[in-house]
Amino acid sequence: MKHVKTLNTRDYKKSQITGGCGECQTSCQSACKTSCTVGNQSCENKNK
Amino acid sequence: MIHQYKNNGYNIVLDVNSGAVHIMDSLGYDLVPLMEQDINIDTDSLFEKTGGIYAKEEIEEAAAEIRELANAGSLYTNDVFEPYIEKFTDNKNAHPIVKALCLHIAHDCNLRCRYCFAEEGEYHGRRALMSFEVGKKAIDFLVANSGNRVNLEVDFFGGEPTMNFSVVKEIVEYGRSIEKEHNKKFRFTLTTNGVLLDHEILEYANKEMHNLVLSIDGRKEVNDRMRPTANGKGSYDIIMPKFKKAAESRNQTNYYVRGTYTHYNRDFSKDVLHLHDQGFEQISVEPVVCDPKEDYALREEDLPFLLEQYDILAKEIIKRRKEGRFINFFHFMIDLEGGPCVAKRLSGCGAGCEYLAVTPWGDIYPCHQFVGEEQFLLGNVDEGIVKPEISREFGACNVYTKEKCKDCFAKFYCSGGCMANSYHAGGNINASYDIGCELQRKRVECSIMIKAAEAE
């Protein structure tokens, strides 16, 4: 495309089908403890 | 739902409900809101509405690209998840799974940090150290309530956990000894202020701790103002050399230096960069959360300055990375491709359900920030969860139950934010902490801008 560059992202709708395994890290377990950051967590579902 | 913004020369368009991110030229960027209501709007109307500054052929071309995105489901998408949320939370509450514990190894501390939500380690209670017996029961509780989850997280927290490090070691050893038989994998984290961090503790941490969180606020004067020792002296000179050694010994991975910024260091980008200049590559510096009456509390009038700090920091991070000087700022981390599924994005931080905190004497609370608030006492390591209704209340809290989240573009990135912050700011876990939300939105914008810059 000439006017648009789309970054590669995970499609939420598709992730609805394969997601929800819960193996990913808990938000506060990394380095926050006083906020909530979820978008930075990596998915650990091997079958996604 | 669309969110579009300009940052650092990039025209960024987020399709909130699909997660798609588009970087557009000025023409495309200007057409996006004009085509939202009527995707087939004609070129003449677009020409007129954009003030005649673009050629009609160009408009036609850009409009065709926007229609292509819409047809592909990456622009103007609707929220299809809301109807499922009730089913999702009901299911979560019917089959509660615990996968992470914050163990309060020591309700005692050798620093006197002014902003400590743990009140110098005491958490509205008494000074106490966790016994191995309580820690062992906590591990057994976690294993018994973790269902099929393999990865289990345990954070050694305080107060200051190195003040009771022999028990930390015993708990780790116990956890390791039962991993195989239960098909579990423990990921331990140690959060420390560094005062007692000696060679022996570091060696052990490097062997057993998946993550190490090292508390320091940044510049010496900033750190020492808020993080004095018990005798009132600054802690920077004591901890800095130890933290440098720790970061190097872990090959600059699987750790964070973690600081808090307050009203007194609103120019916190300097603290982040100071930590980077000292050789740290993994850095987290967060806004203080406290009673708004405190002199160091962040105020609404601080916001424009704080938001600008994130812009300054984002640009500097891009620059330093281009120069080959890697820096990772925790709150600018965003995994667009490999990030969480929508279930995770909707389910919040997991406090009160997946993630629980255990006090030195074995009481269980929804998270470390609720410890000591008796109305949130969930149970204990002997009896387990005795008030499941509290757990259910936390499990049902999500971006759709929080009024202010519904129309917020950042809802799938922050997942509704910190429930403790909501409670402390608005009296219930479904309220919002407005200052925190403003900062969060800015961080999301900056982190996506960094991705755009790095995609060039």
| Tens of pLDDT, residue by residue, chain A (48 residues) | 999 999 998 888 888 877 788 888 887 766 677 776 777 777 888 666
Same domain, B126 and B166: yes
Same domain, B99 and B66: no
**Is residue B239 in some structural domain?**
no
Query: Are the beta carbons of B331 and A3 separated by less than 8 Å?
Result: no
Chain A partners of B412 at a C-beta cutoff of 8 Å?
A: 12, 39
Chain B partners of A35 at a C-beta cutoff of 8 Å?
A: 286-287, 289, 331, 414, 417-418, 421, 436, 440
**Is residue B355 in some structural domain?**
yes
Query: Are the beta carbons of A36 and B348 separated by less than 8 Å?
Result: yes
Same domain, B71 and B96: no
> Which of B354, B374, B398 is where one domain is finished?
B398
Same domain, B58 and B95: no
Which residues lie closer than 8 Å to B332 by C-beta, 6 or more apart?
Answer: B313, B314, B317, B443, B446, B447, B450
Mutation target for B interface from A2, A15, A17, A27: give the one with most B CBs within 10 A: A27
Same domain, B102 and B69: no
Same domain, B74 and B97: no
Rounded Cα distance between B405 and B14, Å, is: 16
pLDDT at B69: 98
Find out whether B358 and B101 touch, Cβ atoms under 8 Å. Answer: yes
Same domain, B69 and B96: no
**Is residue B293 in some structural domain?**
no
**Is residue B304 in some structural domain?**
no
Query: Are the beta carbons of B355 and A1 separated by less than 8 Å?
Result: no
**Is residue B30 in some structural domain?**
yes
Per-residue pLDDT reduced to its tens digit, B346-400: 878 889 999 999 999 999 999 999 999 999 999 999 999 999 999 999 998 989 9
> Which of B44, B78, B112 is where one domain is finished?
B78
Q: Which of B34, B29, B35, B31 is nearest to B6 (CA)?
A: B29
Same domain, B96 and B180: yes
Find out whether B283 and B276 touch, Cβ atoms under 8 Å. Answer: yes
- Spatial strand order in the sheet of A4-7: A4-7, B20-24, B10-15, B2-7
Region at B411 (left for phi over 0; alpha for psi -120 to 50; beta for the rest): alpha
Judging by DSSP bridges, how do beta strands B282-287 and B10-15 pair with one another? unpaired
CA dihedral B382, B388, B391, B396 (to 10 degrees): 160
Query: Are the beta carbons of B421 and A35 separated by less than 8 Å?
Result: yes
- Residue B364's domain comprises 91-193+339-398
CA B215-B219-B222 angle, 5° bins: 80
Per-residue pLDDT reduced to its tens digit, B74-109: 999 999 888 887 777 777 777 789 999 999 999 999
Rounded Cα distance between B443 and B311, Å, is: 9
Q: Which string of DSSP letters, residue by residue, matches B241-278?
A: HHHHHHHHHTTT-SEEEEEEE-GGG--THHHHHHHHHT
**Is residue B143 in some structural domain?**
yes
> Which of B382, B398, B414 is where one domain is finished?
B398
Same domain, B48 and B98: no
pLDDT at A47: 67
**Is residue B110 in some structural domain?**
yes
**Is residue B185 in some structural domain?**
yes
Same domain, B73 and B96: no
Nearest 5°: phi and psi at B20? Answer: -70, 145
ipTM here: 0.91
Domain count across chain B: 2
Nearest 5°: phi and psi at B201? Answer: -65, -40
Q: Report residues of chain B scoring pLDDT below 50.
A: none
Among B100, B286, B444, beta carbon nearest to A39: B444
